[in-house]
Amino acid sequence: MVYARITGTGSVLPGQRLSNQQLVDRLAARGVETSDEWIVERTGIRARHFAADDELASDLACTAARAALEAAGREAGEIDLIIVATSTPDMVFPSTACIVQRKLGVHGCPAFDVQAVCSGFVYALSVADAMIRTGGARRALVIGAEVFSRILDFDDRTTCVLFGDGAGAVVLEASDQPGILASELHADGRHADILCTPGSVAGGKVSGNPLLKMDGPAVFKMAVGVLESVARSVLDKAGRTADDVDWLIPHQANIRIMHSTAKKMRLPLDKLIVTLDEQGNTSAASVPLALDAAVRGGKVKRGDTVLLEGVGGGFTWGAVLLDF
Ligand code: UT7
């Protein structure tokens, strides 16, 4: 039996850290009123990192990938599949994964992007797992990389205080030991308009609004429902229960959603990995960023059972249960 197992993790946050107060002051200068108290109380976010003007999703992806390769004891040339989850690609095409491949100095292996917004990493990991289990790859780089600061509307206080930039990566390898135990993905396109960046490029111009729009309360309500149901479902599939979960790593969007999920699963809050406070919502990068922080911080150890969960635009959601 072939399983797919994570053999290394890596991540990066761009250099520019902005505390809530620093962001609040910047927004005040353009007449947008918000406060550190509101942001902390309603979201749990205290700071976020923004990429420099010349820093692209592929740059962050490469730094995270190199760290994951080093942790796995692998060279880029040993990788035979690259998947990048991103909603903020370097360009319309080619894929950010192809650009990452070039920047890593390798060629030949399949490389493609997955676009499932904040569920992107869970989608990408699930696809890589399937390809490894069916013999299509043996050693994959799976990356979540975002520069959401590029698509924020800094006149919209309901969204611009929430997001940050960053990247996280894992090396996923074929193994006779688990590994990924089960995964499950979902989408419901009927809710495409509650979280979207509706602009597109047409006739050489941007047509429509190229900035992020979100109906926060609608997304909140959907998220708390689906995160519990998909967690239960993936545990059932693997023949495990919530008692078997050592660490819950949900998409880092709002501490109230994360606490609610843990409570519904009857998981103590000390099993919940939280990086949201220092990073904000980094969309597809949030789960691998949190996983890497937990691994390097000595929380997630070899053999631990970890439940990863994504939720976001599409509407999309999913979960991956794994033995680390
Ligand atoms: O990454 C994909 C998944 N994304 C998510 O899971 C996000 C889900 N949604 C959320 O996290 C929350 O809905 C938000 C954090 C976005 C908003 O929190 P909320 O508790 O749902 O607030 P609300 O939208 O109901 O707004 C409450 C009040 C409103 O004022 P009124 O109408 O009560 O006077 C807003 O105008 O808070 C006001 N408000 C703000 N006030 C100060 C909204 N944004 C701000 C702000 N600063 N930045």
Instruction: Kindly give the confidence (pLDDT) of every residue in the chain, 324 residues in length, as a single tens digit, with 9 standing for 90 and above.
Output: 999 999 999 999 999 999 999 999 999 999 999 999 999 999 999 999 999 999 999 999 999 999 999 999 999 999 999 999 999 999 999 999 999 999 999 999 999 999 999 999 999 999 999 999 999 999 999 999 999 999 999 999 999 999 999 999 999 999 999 999 999 999 999 999 999 999 999 999 999 999 999 999 999 999 999 999 999 999 999 999 999 999 999 999 999 999 999 999 999 999 999 999 999 999 999 999 999 999 999 999 999 999 999 999 999 999 999 999
Lookup: tokens for 125: 């990991």
Residue nearest to atom 13 of ligand 1 (CA): 216
Non-local CB neighbours of 129 within 8 Å, separated by 6+ positions: 4, 172, 180, 183, 320
Q: Is the CB of 112 within 6 Å of ligand 1?
A: no
The CA distance from 244 to 304, in Å, is: 9
Interatomic CA distance for residues 66 and 64, integer angstroms: 6
| pTM for this entry | 0.98
Cβ–ligand 1 distance for 158 under 6 Å, the answer yes
Q: Which atom of ligand 1 is nearest to the CA of 217?
A: 13
Residue 178's nearest CA partner among 29, 22, 323, 303 is 323
Q: Which residue in the block uniquely carries the two structure tokens 């969960």?
A: 309
Q: How far is CA 282 from CA 82, 98, 138, 167, 275, in A?
A: 20, 21, 28, 8, 10
Active site residue 191: no
- Long-range contacts, 268-276 (Cβ 8 Å, 24+): 271/245, 271/246, 271/247, 272/247, 272/248, 273/247, 273/248, 273/249, 273/299, 273/300, 274/44, 276/43, 276/44, 276/45, 276/252
Quote the pLDDT of residue 146.
Answer: 98
DSSP class per residue in 86-138? -SS-SSSSS-HHHHHHHHTT--SS-EEEE--GGGHHHHHHHHHHHHHHTTS-S
Q: Is 222 in the pocket of ligand 1 (CB under 6 A)?
A: no
Adjacent-strand bridge partners of 250: 309
Distance CA 294, CA 284 (A): 17
Cα 217 to ligand 1 centre (Å): 7
**Catalytic-residue membership of 251:** yes
From 40, 42, 254, the mutation candidate for ligand 1 (largest count of ligand atoms within 8 A of CB) is 42
Q: Is 114 left (phi over 0), alpha (psi -120 to 50) or beta?
A: beta
Judge if the beta carbon of residue 38 lies within 6 A of ligand 1. yes
Q: Is the dihedral of CA 12, 226, 232, 84 positive or negative?
A: negative
